[in-house]
Structure 1
Amino acid sequence: MTSASFLLLNLFLLLITSNSLSLASVSVQQSKFWSQNVDSNMPQSILSKLSPLSESEAEMFTPLASKKYFLSNPKFCTTANLVCSVAVKPLPPTNINYAHFTDKVYVPMEQVHPASLFRLSVIKKGHKVTLPTNLDRELPNRSFLPPQIARNIHLSASELQRIFPTAFSIPMTKAAIQLSLSHCDAPTVKGERRGCLKTLEDMIQFSRESLGSKHLVALASDYTKGVGNQVVMIENVKPYKTNKIVACHEMFFPFATYYCHKLPSTQIYAVDVVKPNKIGTTNKMFVICHMDTSAWAPDHVAFKLLKLSPGKGEVCHWITQMDLIWVGSD
């Protein structure tokens, strides 16, 4: 047994036998931070990612995570609800960030559903539209790490492979992590502010600073499982009177992480859709429209699909259950 494993075992025994350790949950603190900064209910996609760690467990793991010899093990992964040893199929880049199109984040046409990208004129009341298949995509559930642990884990291939070697031993999971890192490392486009946020608190703080707002409203599409590739009718469209939004897209790392970015000249629309002949069964979904595409690469997949060129038209896409939109409430 290595010295690191021996120390970890002793800390777990201490956790089990000590009556003085607090049983308060980290999720309570995460929920409190949300309520202090966000004027809307927490969507299910975020609620499911709250940490199951107790404060005592977080205190136990924090000094370990700061050590160079720290290595995840099944107990840590289970206790913190991480995904360390599951085969994960990489998501197409189009599901994460439409604005980027670089050598690192290449999007082949065959990976793009024809309904994934569209013009604003498509979302009008009474129109029938086909929803893209990527609305059905989802990643294994992982929880956010507490800030004191997350700050000791850096988003780099070498660091993640050292801490989560089992994940990197699975080719599909390794590929999913590498794709996520390519987005985190991609250059910004003109006017963009972005970051890969490893904690719920960091995501909220990033959005507050980017929007210059003390309080936020979180917008999330209704659960979209099973709606991909289906024809729906648009029942209502509500534009939000702001062009200042932060879009956050779920990435794959062993712990919950979101890629968030603020782009200029972006509009958000709430769209009520209903399946034809299914009266009363309405889903509220959100659409983002990038109104200024002048800084996008000329060979961007959106231009090929919509027969446009940079700056010559807006590009819109649906928000999935893996996405979150932030707007200011003040």
Structure 2
Amino acid sequence: MSPAISGAPFLIFFLTLSLHISFSTAVRLPTKVPSFLPGDNSPPTEKYWFSRLPNTPLPKALRDTLQPGYYPSVIRDFANGEKSSVDAREKYGKHYGEDSHKKTAKSALPDSTIFYLYNDLHPGKKMKLLFTNSGTKVSFLPRRVAESIPFSSDKFPEILKYFSLQVNSEEAEIISDEIGYCESPNMEGEEKYCATSLESLIDFNVARLGQNVQVLSTEPGKKQEYTVSAKAEMRGEHKAAVCHKIRYPYAVHYCHVIEGTEVYVVPLIAADGAEVKAVTVCHLNTSAWSPDHMAFEVLKIKPGPAVCHFLATDTLIWVPKMDQDMTP
């Protein structure tokens, strides 16, 4: 690790490597910034993806984070972006407090279809949908740089110091929540990991699903009524790894392997004629979910039946490849 870098060398350092720091207001930059070494610390590119997954196309949701200048690599003002009204902890059975749950449910229920029953996945079904994203326009850091930055609740003061954040700031609260989310106990049948680099994201999923995989994401679409225009195509088997991009100063993905699920690519046609292919996940058994989960309030059911939901546009889902597509 090199000494702290400041002033003009710091700016030259970042510009040379096409890692742009974007702040909405003038802020003091971190006092310590890990240096890059030629070769093993170069900015992440598609090369590592295709070295591990030579037969798997790179999804657009991930490709965007690898384009120099497309997204900034590090931001401090990440609390003001758009945020999905229902995040992964709500969709996947995690319950983080009655007040927060009710507030989220109250704001989300009138707006769009969030959860729906498995039997509703058929041509002709109409749903009002809003395809959200994490709202965090950040890209990956090189692996060795990401690994040099603390990422745990017991290092919280160090993290705030690194990013020059005040302990009572909204950004600090988000960082605390997201790290706590990563460190929370696993649900039954769940294995999870927070990937702080492109390389660790790939390694986690390849280790669990192998190299013969598809990586899918939902196409963007504006909020309006959509109709399922054809039979949904099942992808993979009854196991999938879902990676949600969380709100953080640089790209971090919360990945979890979930069994007892089915993944479908759903062809949709919007009221204005736009066509969208959306990825939906169906949880075949919700009996282990909290009875207070928002899905049961939305659908007016008790835990147990299969429940489906669409994925955000910057969420990645990894599934084993199948010989042929299947339909529900």
Instruction: Return the match for 2:121 from 111, 119, 123.
Output: 123
Equivalent residue for 2:48?
Answer: 33
Equivalent residue for 1:233?
Answer: 227
Give the TM-score normalised by the residue count of structure 1. Answer: 0.76
Superimposed CA distance per residue, residues 37-57 of structure 1 (whole angstroms, 9 cap, x where no aligned partner): 23332222211212749xxxx
Sort the Cα spacing of 1:181 and 1:24 in 2 relative to 1 into closer, same or farther, 3 A: closer
Pair 1:223-2:215 in alignment:
no
Residue type at the aligned position of 2:158: E
Superimposed CA distance per residue, residues 122-159 of structure 1 (whole angstroms, 9 cap, x where no aligned partner): 2211222111x3x2344131110111111111223323
Instruction: Return the match for 1:196 from 190, 194, 203.
Output: 194
Equivalent residue for 2:291?
Answer: 298
Q: Give the distance between the partners of 1:316 and 1:79, measured in 2 at CA.
A: 31
Instruction: Return the match for 1:48 from 39, 42, 64.
Output: 64
**Residues 63-212 of structure 1: pairs in structure 2 closer than 5 A:** 81-89=73-81, 91=83, 94-97=86-89, 98-103=91-96, 106-108=100-102, 109-113=105-109, 115-131=113-129, 133=130, 135-156=131-152, 157-166=156-165, 168=166, 171-211=169-209
Q: Give the distance between the partners of 2:122 and 2:206, measured in 1 at CA.
A: 31
Which secondary structure does the structure 2 equivalent of 1:187 belong to? coil
Sort the Cα spacing of 1:126 and 1:10 in 2 relative to 1 into closer, same or farther, 3 A: closer
Equivalent residue for 2:275?
Answer: 282
**Residues 297-316 of structure 1: pairs in structure 2 closer than 5 A:** 297-310=290-303, 312-316=304-308
Q: Give the distance between the partners of 1:36 and 1:50, measured in 2 at CA.
A: 16
Sort the Cα spacing of 1:102 and 1:277 in 2 relative to 1 into closer, same or farther, 3 A: closer
Q: Give the distance between the partners of 1:304 and 1:79, measured in 2 at CA.
A: 37
Residue type at the aligned position of 2:215: A
Sort the Cα spacing of 1:276 and 1:26 in 2 relative to 1 into closer, same or farther, 3 A: same
Sort the Cα spacing of 1:285 and 1:294 in 2 relative to 1 into closer, same or farther, 3 A: same
Give the TM-score normalised by the residue count of structure 2. Answer: 0.77
Q: Give the distance between the partners of 2:11 and 2:309, measured in 1 at CA.
A: 50
Cα deviation for residue 115 of structure 1 reads: 1.1
Cα deviation for residue 119 of structure 1 reads: 0.6
Instruction: Return the match for 1:214 from 211, 221, 244.
Output: 211
Residue type at the aligned position of 1:164: F
Pair 1:248-2:264 in alignment:
no
Cα deviation for residue 14 of structure 1 reads: 8.7
**Is contact 1:89-1:172 (8 Å) kept?**
no
**Is contact 1:51-1:80 (8 Å) kept?**
no
- Number of residues paired by the alignment? 289
Q: Give the distance between the partners of 2:225 and 2:60, measured in 1 at CA.
A: 25
Sort the Cα spacing of 1:159 and 1:90 in 2 relative to 1 into closer, same or farther, 3 A: farther
**Is contact 1:267-1:289 (8 Å) kept?**
yes
Cα deviation for residue 164 of structure 1 reads: 0.9
Q: Give the distance between the partners of 2:119 and 2:94, measured in 1 at CA.
A: 24
Q: Give the distance between the partners of 1:145 and 1:258, measured in 2 at CA.
A: 12
More helix by share: 1
Residue type at the aligned position of 1:233: T
Q: Give the distance between the partners of 2:264 and 2:12, measured in 1 at CA.
A: 52
Unaligned runs of 5+ in 1: 54-77
Cα deviation for residue 100 of structure 1 reads: 3.7
**Is contact 2:241-2:258 (8 Å) kept?**
yes
Superimposed CA distance per residue, residues 164-218 of structure 1 (whole angstroms, 9 cap, x where no aligned partner): 123x46833333323322321221100100011101111111111222x133321
Which secondary structure does the structure 2 equivalent of 1:263 belong to? strand
Unaligned runs of 5+ in 2: 17-36, 323-328
